[in-house]
Amino acid sequence: MLLSPALAISAVLFTLGVAGVLFRRNAIVIFMCVELMLNAVNLTFVALAQVIGVGGQVFVLFVMAVAAAEAAVGLAIILAVYRHKQSVSLQNMNLLKDG
């Protein structure tokens, strides 16, 4: 079984995703990093499904469905923000900060 390598790849992918979300400014890139994290988790699910049972595979389908919905909503928001600010950089999105 390739369980350990699969989990290792998953961990690397997830960490890359987290690092991207933390350190990149571009909303589109951050968005892609979130997808990367989701898919890293998906990889964990299918890998562990080999050991534990079919439930993990079922869950991957759910995650994909949610990720698709999230992609649609997220892209729509980014488009709306771009129209408003002419930018997709997160540094410009700080309306909640007081004063």
Partner 1 sequence: MSADAGTSIGLIWVPPALALLGFVLNGTIAFVRPQAKTAVSIIGAGVLLAAFAVAVTIFSGFAALHPDAPVVARYWSWIPVGTLQVDIAFQVDQLSLVMLLIVTGVGSLIHLFSIGYMREDPGYARYFAYLNLFVFFMLVLVLGANFPVMFVGWEGVGLCSYLLIGFWFSEQANADAGRKAFIMNRIGDFGFMIAMFIIFWVTGSLDFETVFRAAPTALVAGGGAVTAITLFLFLGCTGKSAQIPLYTWLPDAMAGPTPVSALIHAATMVTAGVYLVARCNLLFAMAPVASAVVAGVGALTALFAATIALKQWDIKKVLAYSTISQLGYMFVGVGTGAISAGVFHLATHAFFKALLFLGSGSVIFAMHRAYHHAHLHDDAQDMRNMGGLRRWMPWTATLMWIATLAIAGVPPFSGFFSKDEILAAAFARGTAQPIWLLFWAFGLIAALLTAFYMTRMMLYTFHGPNRTGDGAREHLHEAPWIMTGPLVVLGLLSVAGGLLNIPELYKGGAWLHHWLEPVTAPGAALLPETHVSHGTEWILVGVAVAVAITGIVGAWRLLKPETLVPAARSPEDHGFERVLRNKWYVDEIYDALIVRPLVWLSREVLWKRVDQGAIDAGAVNGAARGARAAGWANRWLQTGQVGMYVAAFVVGVLLLLWRAIGGGGS
Q: Which residue number, 24 or 50, has a Cβ lying nearer to partner 1?
A: 24
Q: Does 98 bind partner 1 (CB under 8 A)?
A: yes
Site for partner 1 in 45-64 (CB under 8 A): none
Q: How far apart are the first and last CA of the chain?
A: 57
Q: Does 97 bind partner 1 (CB under 8 A)?
A: yes
Cβ–Cβ < 8 Å for 62, 69: no
| Among the listed residues 16, 18, 71, 78, the single contact to partner 1 using CB under 8 A | 18
Joined tokens for residue 37 = 């994290």
